[in-house]
């Protein structure tokens, strides 16, 4: 595989694509096999729709000189991204963590874009395919790249760092996410810390939250730039954080009032402040960027429907994020509170125990009406007047479709597979 030649073809194109449904004119199509399809079969269609070149790994679908035949298209995409990253030589910030990756990435991006021409991971394209696609979206106009990395097993972050070769890294936290793949919480810590190992081995810099003892321990002998709340030793000292319900943060001469719900988002805001400060973004620009950021995509969105206020946090869930979301909701000074909670996925043998922990967290909250949706919550069913359990979404929707909701504060949270945002259509 002549990666330099493939890269020269890629540079003639405007974009890269792996999906013929999203082909743009003069794009570079890479045919990657899926679990249920062979994208090589779409090579001709990609050219017909406007792709200038296609990369395939099955010679049966070779068309003409616009076709590049490789041994493995996925490996070619990853090697092309790595080559392109080195070709551009721009600074790259990578981030991972159990919770808050995407929100933190977005906050860092809006802050740094006040000074630099930035490009960041779109949505959650953060895996072995998404990271290469992100890198290939950078061009010679990009002054700084921000790359989100997700993982559900050991060695994945190590692999992604090998492709993206970040100059800077940040880990949001180490929580109870993907326990099945990582083999427990200690496995999560080990797996996420592969980013620290890469940065340390290559004499690169880590951004460190001094509020997190695991981060502090894992970065003791590394180049770092730190932040913390009321910690004079921090490079950036945050003097106050509040959430009522929106997160506000005080540092230096500024008070930043965001559109983010929940104290658990404070560290995400603090990280963006610290990273912006490190890269010389002016204080007022940091403040304006953070105050102008509006969350979307079902992540900690505050919305109204009729007379109800709704915190929609249904993009994803794990035991750590579920716990902090509920604890924050409990603290809100509101009457008539309701929670709609969906099952948390990929927890392996710990799943029933972790779902029980969520139920237990709400046992003494008699003023909150609690609806639990999904088979794992259902298996932890308890008899309590304000609790309702449903084995699946259909049973849940049948129960609430004729209910009238008025003047409530509502939290909606569950794993992506539960698609609990569907609940909105039943809130009249």
| Residue 284, domain CATH | 3.40.1190.10
Shared domain for 325 and 375, answered yes or no, is yes
User: Which CATH number is 419's domain given?
Assistant: 3.90.190.20
Q: What's the mean pLDDT in 231-245? A: 91
Q: Average model confidence (pLDDT) for the chain? A: 93
Q: What's the pLDDT band for 153 if we cut at 50, 70, 90?
A: confident
Shared domain for 234 and 318, answered yes or no, is no
pLDDT tens column, 52-99: 999 999 999 999 999 999 999 999 999 999 999 999 999 999 999 988
Q: What is the total count of domains within the chain? A: 3
* Distance between start and end Cα atoms, the chain: 58
Instruction: Give a yes or no: residue 320 inside a domain.
Output: yes
Q: What's the mean pLDDT in 202-209? A: 97
pLDDT at 44: 94
Instruction: Give a yes or no: residue 80 inside a domain.
Output: no
Instruction: Give a yes or no: residue 189 inside a domain.
Output: yes
Q: What's the pLDDT band for 244 if we cut at 50, 70, 90?
A: confident
pLDDT at 308: 94
pLDDT at 177: 63
Shared domain for 343 and 396, answered yes or no, is yes
Q: How far apart are CA 153 and CA 147, in angstroms?
A: 19
Shared domain for 19 and 97, answered yes or no, is no
- Residue 98: Cβ-neighbour burial (10 angstroms; 0-12, 13-18, 19+): buried
Shared domain for 271 and 376, answered yes or no, is no
pLDDT at 411 exceeding the cut of 70: yes
Two tokens, residue 91:
């600074």
Shared domain for 45 and 137, answered yes or no, is no
User: Which residue, 257, 292, 327, sits at the end of a domain?
Assistant: 292
Q: Smallest Cα–Cα separation from 124: which of 97, 163, 154?
A: 97
- Residue 302: Cβ-neighbour burial (10 angstroms; 0-12, 13-18, 19+): middle
pLDDT at 176: 67
Domain that holds residue 368: 301-426
Q: What's the pLDDT band for 300 if we cut at 50, 70, 90?
A: confident
Shared domain for 198 and 169, answered yes or no, is yes
User: Which residue, 234, 261, 292, sits at the end of a domain?
Assistant: 292
The three-class DSSP label of residue 131 is: helix
Shared domain for 67 and 180, answered yes or no, is no
pLDDT at 428 exceeding the cut of 90: no
Shared domain for 58 and 185, answered yes or no, is no
Instruction: Give a yes or no: residue 79 inside a domain.
Output: no
Q: At residue 109, what are phi and psi to the nearest 5 degrees? A: -65, -45
- Residue 305: Cβ-neighbour burial (10 angstroms; 0-12, 13-18, 19+): middle
pLDDT at 152 exceeding the cut of 90: no
Tell me the whole-structure pTM to 2 decimals. 0.85
Instruction: Give a yes or no: residue 393 inside a domain.
Output: yes
Shared domain for 19 and 166, answered yes or no, is no
- Of all residues in the chain, the percent with pLDDT exceeding 90 is 77
pLDDT at 409 exceeding the cut of 70: yes
Shared domain for 32 and 119, answered yes or no, is no
């Amino acid at each position: 595989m002549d990666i330099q030649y493939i890269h020269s073809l890629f540079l003639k194109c405007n974009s890269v694509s792996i999906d013929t449904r999203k082909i743009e004119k003069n794009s570079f199509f890479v045919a990657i096999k899926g679990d249920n399809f062979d994208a090589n079969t779409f090579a001709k269609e990609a050219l017909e729709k406007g792709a200038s070149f296609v990369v395939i790994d099955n010679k049966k679908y070779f068309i003409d000189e616009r076709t590049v035949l490789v041994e493995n298209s996925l490996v070619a995409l990853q090697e092309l991204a790595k080559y392109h990253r080195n070709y551009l030589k721009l600074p790259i910030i990578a981030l991972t963590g159990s919770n808050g990756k995407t929100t933190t990435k977005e906050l860092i991006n809006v802050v740094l874009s006040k000074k630099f021409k930035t490009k960041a991971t779109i949505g959650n394209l953060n895996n072995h395919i998404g990271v290469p696609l992100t890198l290939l979206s950078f061009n010679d106009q990009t002054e700084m790249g921000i790359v989100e990395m997700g993982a559900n097993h050991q060695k994945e972050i190590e692999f992604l760092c090998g492709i993206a070769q970040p100059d800077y890294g940040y880990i949001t936290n180490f929580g109870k996410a993907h326990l099945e793949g990582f083999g427990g919480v200690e496995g999560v810590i080990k797996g996420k810390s592969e980013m620290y190992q890469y940065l340390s081995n290559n004499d690169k810099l880590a951004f460190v939250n001094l509020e997190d003892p695991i981060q502090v321990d894992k970065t003791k002998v590394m180049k770092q730039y730190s932040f913390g709340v009321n910690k004079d030793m921090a490079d950036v000292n945050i003097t106050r954080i509040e959430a009522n319900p929106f997160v506000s943060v005080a540092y230096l001469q500024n008070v930043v009032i965001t559109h983010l719900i929940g104290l658990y988002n404070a560290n995400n805001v603090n990280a963006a402040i610290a990273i912006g400060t490190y890269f010389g973004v002016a204080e007022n620009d940091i403040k304006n960027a953070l105050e102008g950021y509006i969350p979307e995509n079902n992540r900690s969105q505050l919305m109204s429907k009729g007379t109800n206020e709704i915190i929609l946090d249904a993009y994803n869930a794990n035991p750590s994020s579920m716990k902090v979301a509920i604890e924050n909701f409990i603290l809100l000074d509101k009457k008539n509170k309701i929670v709609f909670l969906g099952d948390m996925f990929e927890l392996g043998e710990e799943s029933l125990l972790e779902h029980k922990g969520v139920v237990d967290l709400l046992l003494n909250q008699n003023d909150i009406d609690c609806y639990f949706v999904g088979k794992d919550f259902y298996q932890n069913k308890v008899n309590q007047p304000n609790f309702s359990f449903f084995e699946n979404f259909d049973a849940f929707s049948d129960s609430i479709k004729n209910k009238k909701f008025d003047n409530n504060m509502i939290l909606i949270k569950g794993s992506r597979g539960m698609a609990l945002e569907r609940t909105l259509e039943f809130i009249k």
